[in-house]
Amino acid sequence: MDHPLKARQTAIAGLDVGGAHVKAARLVDGRVVAVTQIASPLWQGIDRLEVALAEARAFLGPVDRIGVVITAELADTFESRRDGVAQVARRIGQAFGNETVFLYAGPAGLVPLAAAADHVRGIASANWHATASVVAGVLPDALLVDIGSTTADLLAVRAGADAATGYTDAERLAAGELVYTGATRTSLMAVADRVPFAGIWQPLMNEHFATIADVHRLTGALPEGVDQHATADGRGQSVAESRARLARQLGRDTEDASEAEWLGVARHLAERQLRNLHDAAAQVLSRTPLPDDAPVVSAGIGSFLAQRLAARLARPVVPFASLLSVAPEAALWAGRAAPAVAVAMLAAEPAAPYPAHTS
């Protein structure tokens, strides 16, 4: 007679704690079953993180082990990266308990929450390393392109290992492996300083009048539900309101041009952002040449930009979520919240070796 009780399932969670969002993933017996993103604007105060962590805990439910990557330490709420790691780690412990939480520290792997102070350099903004480690375990050669709300990570995977040359944010910025451009929160004045308009080169105002979300909303590229923060002027997220913000960036009003002309301006700015990403990819690939058939692994809420970049590089595209065992209902956000999923996968096998950082 079969035993009436089924074997207990192992539930593992992954958290990506950033300065703008907390992303949470739940794995059951190695399968991704649920993923979410929660707005957490840390610049408004540490209490916003506490609220987001409480929401993440409710979403995840009971779990056996939690892997965490931290990217929030650069928020100006904190005095330094060390202070940021310490404060965020403390809040995570308060929300989830110290015993089941492990922080991802890059090449050092997962370390106990209590050891955060001993691994600040490894922990700080290591979300990219977790994702690259998972990709390297599946694909021997690839260019990982993870584009979030604020930043883009471009990482070469070569011969089954992370081939990044930088580790800290400063090093990665210089290496082209970190680009401060994202799918929603980037100010337009950071994308271009002028645009073609009515036969002239119209300078943009150096003011936070509009964001790249307005551009991608006008072009129709921005996915539903990914823009979780207030707009530059505090108004709504309609196409008409995005058009008004774009016009203001040029020192103009919407009636100064037709809808088609404003769409042309938006398309130019989208192209300028893509050029910036292309330049970074060229820098990375000039240092770590990959086989011609090595794919771009697309991840993040800006995966649509990664796909365009892959076409420009004449490389195939492999969505990050396609590399995993994922429940259909979790597939969309599993790709958008890759580091949270990746650190959960790494936490699921704590004794397994981690792919080496080659620099």
Q: Kindly report, residue by residue over 200-236, the tens digit of the pLDDT.
A: 999 999 999 999 999 999 999 999 999 999 999 999 9
Domain check: are 52 and 134 in the same one?
yes
Domain check: are 29 and 134 in the same one?
yes
Whole-angstrom CA distances from 264 to 116, 139, 195 are 49, 38, 10
- pLDDT-derived band at 169 (thresholds 50, 70, 90) equals very high
Residue 182 domain-assigned (yes or no):
no
How many domains does the structure of the chain reveal? 2
Q: Are 74 and 18 in contact (CB under 8 A)?
A: no
Residue 4: per-residue pLDDT: 41
Residue 349: per-residue pLDDT: 77
Residue 125 domain-assigned (yes or no):
yes
Residue 4 domain-assigned (yes or no):
no
Give per-residue burial for 15-36: e unless 16+ CB within 10 Å, then b.
bbbbbbbbbbbbbeeeebbbbb
- pLDDT-derived band at 6 (thresholds 50, 70, 90) equals very low
Domain of 104, CATH number, reads 3.30.420.40
Token pair in block for residue 263:
């769409």
Residue 149 domain-assigned (yes or no):
no
Residue 9: per-residue pLDDT: 82
Residue 135 domain-assigned (yes or no):
yes
| Higher-scoring residue by pLDDT: 274, 6 | 274
Whole-angstrom CA distances from 268 to 43, 56, 218, 237, 261 are 31, 38, 12, 20, 11
pTM of the predicted model over 0.85: yes
Domain check: are 123 and 194 in the same one?
no
Residue 81 domain-assigned (yes or no):
yes
User: Last residue of some domain: 278, 309, 336?
Assistant: 278
What is the average pLDDT across 32-40? 96
Domain check: are 216 and 329 in the same one?
no
What is the average pLDDT across 67-72? 96
User: Last residue of some domain: 278, 311, 330?
Assistant: 278
What is the average pLDDT across 54-74? 95
Mean pLDDT of the chain: 93
Segment 318-354, tens digit of pLDDT: 999 999 999 999 999 999 999 999 999 999 975 433 3
Segment 297-310, tens digit of pLDDT: 999 999 999 999 99
Domain check: are 19 and 127 in the same one?
yes
Domain check: are 206 and 271 in the same one?
yes
User: Last residue of some domain: 216, 247, 278?
Assistant: 278
Segment 226-236, tens digit of pLDDT: 999 999 999 99
Residue 221: per-residue pLDDT: 97
Secondary structure of residue 279 in the 3-state scheme? helix
Domain check: are 27 and 85 in the same one?
yes
Q: Which domain holds residue 34?
A: 11-139+320-348
Domain of 197, CATH number, reads 3.30.420.190
Domain check: are 226 and 325 in the same one?
no
Segment 254-301, tens digit of pLDDT: 999 999 999 999 999 999 999 999 999 999 999 999 999 999 999 999
**pLDDT > 90 in the chain, percent:** 92
Residue 109 domain-assigned (yes or no):
yes
Domain check: are 101 and 45 in the same one?
yes
